[in-house]
Structure 1
Amino acid sequence: MDQAAPTGNVRRSRFWLYTPFVLLLLLAIAWSVAWFVIRNRTAEALDGWIAAEARAGREWTCRDRTIAGYPFRIEVVCNALDFRRGAVAASFGRTEAVAQVYQPRRIIAEVAGPLRVSDGAVTVQGSWDLLQASVNASPAGLQRLSVAADAPKIAVSGLPGGELAGSGRRLEFHVRPNPSRTAEQARDVAATVTEARIPLLDALIGGAEPANLTADVTVTRADGFRGGTIAQELELWRSAGGKVDILMLSGVKGPRQIEAKGELRLDEQHRPAGQLNVSAAGLDGLLGNLTGGRMGGNLLGMLLGQGPRANAAQPGAKPQLTALPPLRLDNGFLAMGPFVIPNVRLQPLY
């Protein structure tokens, strides 16, 4: 009788000893079941979304699709990703999109090249070492899209003015709806390119140094892509009253620097139109190109504070920007203040 009590105590102690492990095992089983349910629902949702996109005229093809990521993520992998709408077709390399189970509306993607986009007339080809993107969404739609690429290279062919090519060390691109201008269907766009090498820019302003470019703009009437050619999409945007509000455009290329703010749109002849407030330094070569000769460029540069005297700075010193008269794009002409710049005619973009 004296030994019965200790035996009961031992049994109760073992029960509580194993209880946490049993509960942990049950939790792991429940979580595994839940993850496979979420996985199956993800596959169904993707199939439903692809079908809905197809009904809207946008065809997506995810080759050799797999869904993984157990236990805390959902990873969707396409060995190749293709898109088509109307005359426009695009293709990417291996694409992997990842979302946390507890944060399904924030998606991180890694996309391999090459990129090819064509509307039958204009073709864009691109490559990179690493491209990553993030998408933040809500029940109301897209909240933010961000893209970052290392060592991007791009070539555009089929343009009226010939092929355009460029490369850089790093590209960053961000888009979000403007919360204060929803009625205008406005999108805020911020982009930077570091150590960009663009032959057209070299020919325009001189020098072989890489350029650092920054853009911060708001695009109105940006209500989505309809699947037409680039010319058709631009015309729809123009006829809807779309414009680009330039909060800041800046470029630094060796001793040359320029900053611009203003507004641009397309006129009825499909030419750029609008007005820019520009500050610049070291652009006497560009002014010479615009005026058709070095003498004219140097004269105009001296009048605007851009001549050799203005550029005589210490090596490595930051160039001093000089405000230029307003730059107007009107009826196919380019004017600085009251003076029309000779030898410059703005051509239709399409």
Structure 2
Amino acid sequence: MSSSEAKPTYSRRFMWLAIFIVLLIGAYTAGWFYLAGKVTERVNATLALVNRDGVTAECANPVVRGYPFRLELSCDSLGYEDTGRNIVATVGSLSTAAQVYQPMRVVAELDGPLRAALPGLPQLWLDWDNLRASARLARPLPQILSVEAGGFSGQTDPDEGDPVMLFSAEKVEGHLRPNGADLDGAGSFAGLEIDAAAVGGRTIPVLNGSGDATLANGVAFVLSRAASLRGQSGTIRSLDLSTGPNTGVSLSGTFSVGADGLLDADLKVGIRDPKGVAAALSTAFPEAAKQINNGFAGLALLGDASSMPLKIVRGKAMLGFIPLAEIPPLS
């Protein structure tokens, strides 16, 4: 074959390759805009589903962008109002993103502040340095939902008068995932400082905490939008509150709430460094310092780590053999 014959063949192959690439890019672009349209439809459908029975939700100026490799949805602000429950909340801009090749995994960033009006409470102003969330979308609930915030703080709304500082925390995070019909939840916070003005001038030490629990039939509970835990049960694998690396209180066990709201529970209370816990409680509740120190003196004899059973039967609580106050029915 001569060189003059090879050149046209090579040119034709290059031409067809170029046409294929152009068609591929065109098809991909059409697919991206199709998905972007579906995202917009889903946002509108979700808002329409929420906006009923006295509830109004708003995503201001929704925009989908991110071509070619991402699908990003942004809203200038979010708003929610439930006239029946007297709940109003507004928050700053929302930005969510998903990779085109992994559209069910969504990450989001939310700007503060969150301003909320709740029945029986002063208007709240919650803010943070950064707040990120991630989810693996599925039906009927996401496979997992995680939220993490740094520099989290709360105060009363400054637009309603002189603001009162409530709390601040270095870090807060929470995680939820369906486990069959049940719902698993875990969370933690670090460096929580509760302002004395929020607790009647009491001095509360800096706190760290974590929790890990399961709500039986929790998926149905969430989907039903139930406002009460009546008829529910669950397991607390761990619930921990500490004032230092070796000082704190933990709780674990099972619980159930009757149809009448009365609580039943079979729990274990663990105490690390009883003297340190007593000192923290005495500082927070000086009027009961004598009773606190006397009560924890016996626990200190059991060592630096001790535990006691906490049983609650029809709202009546017993710590070991010590009767505690009755717990009123849960609403």
How high is the TM-score relative to the length of structure 1? Answer: 0.75
Asked whether the 8 Å contact 2:192–2:207 carries over to 1, the reply is yes
SS in structure 1 opposite 2:32?
helix
> Does residue 1:217 correspond to 2:207, yes or no?
no
Q: In structure 2, what is the equivalent of residue 13 of structure 1? A: 10
Distance in 2 (alpha carbons) for counterparts of 1:225 and 1:124: 27
- From 65, 72, 76, the equivalent of 1:75 is 72
Q: In structure 2, what is the equivalent of residue 102 of structure 1? A: 101
Distance in 1 (alpha carbons) for counterparts of 2:258 and 2:287: 26
Change (3 A) 1:94 1:290: closer
Query: Where does 1:162-311 land on structure 2 (aligned, <5 Å)?
Result: 165-179=166-180, 182=181, 186-199=182-195, 209-220=205-216, 222=218, 223-224=221-222, 233-234=227-228, 237-238=229-230, 241-254=231-244, 255-264=246-255, 274-280=265-271, 281=273, 282-285=276-279, 293-305=288-300
Asked whether the 8 Å contact 2:168–2:192 carries over to 1, the reply is yes
Q: In structure 1, what is the equivalent of residue 323 of structure 2? A: 340
Deviations 1:85-136 (A, max 9, x none): 4323322210112122232222211111111333433355311111111121
Change (3 A) 1:295 1:156: same
Query: Where does 1:153-164 land on structure 2 (aligned, <5 Å)?
Result: 153-155=153-155
Q: In structure 1, what is the equivalent of residue 305 of structure 2? A: 321
Identity level (%) = 24
Asked whether the 8 Å contact 2:232–2:258 carries over to 1, the reply is no
Report the Cα offset of residue 29 of structure 1: 1.8
Asked whether the 8 Å contact 1:216–1:246 carries over to 2, the reply is yes
Asked whether the 8 Å contact 1:291–1:297 carries over to 2, the reply is no
Q: In structure 2, what is the equivalent of residue 136 of structure 1? A: 136
Distance in 1 (alpha carbons) for counterparts of 2:239 and 2:192: 15
Give the partner amino acid of 1:166.
F
Please say which of residues 6-15 and 65-74 is displaced more in the overlay: 6-15
Distance in 2 (alpha carbons) for counterparts of 1:193 and 1:300: 28
Asked whether the 8 Å contact 2:205–2:280 carries over to 1, the reply is no
Distance in 1 (alpha carbons) for counterparts of 2:322 and 2:314: 14
Please say which of residues 129-138 and 45-54 is displaced more in the overlay: 45-54
Asked whether the 8 Å contact 1:284–1:306 carries over to 2, the reply is no
Deviations 1:263-298 (A, max 9, x none): 345578867663431111232236768896444433
Distance in 1 (alpha carbons) for counterparts of 2:11 and 2:259: 85
Unaligned runs of 5+ in 1: 158-162, 311-319
SS in structure 1 opposite 2:115?
strand
Change (3 A) 1:127 1:66: same
Distance in 2 (alpha carbons) for counterparts of 1:285 and 1:267: 36
Asked whether the 8 Å contact 1:196–1:210 carries over to 2, the reply is yes
SS in structure 2 opposite 1:121?
coil
Change (3 A) 1:124 1:219: farther
Asked whether the 8 Å contact 2:92–2:110 carries over to 1, the reply is yes
Q: In structure 2, what is the equivalent of residue 314 of structure 1? A: none
Asked whether the 8 Å contact 1:112–1:130 carries over to 2, the reply is yes
Give the partner amino acid of 2:292.
G
How high is the TM-score relative to the length of structure 2? Answer: 0.79
Distance in 2 (alpha carbons) for counterparts of 1:272 and 1:199: 31
Deviations 1:40-66 (A, max 9, x none): 232223222322333476532111111
Please say which of residues 270-279 and 130-139 is displaced more in the overlay: 270-279
Asked whether the 8 Å contact 2:211–2:239 carries over to 1, the reply is yes
Report the Cα offset of residue 217 of structure 1: 1.2
SS in structure 2 opposite 1:298?
helix
Deviations 1:307-337 (A, max 9, x none): 9xx5xxxxxxxxx4222x2224566665321
Asked whether the 8 Å contact 1:82–1:92 carries over to 2, the reply is yes
Unaligned runs of 5+ in 2: 158-163
What is the RMSD computed on CA atoms of the aligned residues? Answer: 3.6
SS in structure 1 opposite 2:175?
strand
Q: In structure 2, what is the equivalent of residue 28 of structure 1? A: 25
Distance in 1 (alpha carbons) for counterparts of 2:70 and 2:91: 23
> Does residue 1:149 correspond to 2:146, yes or no?
no
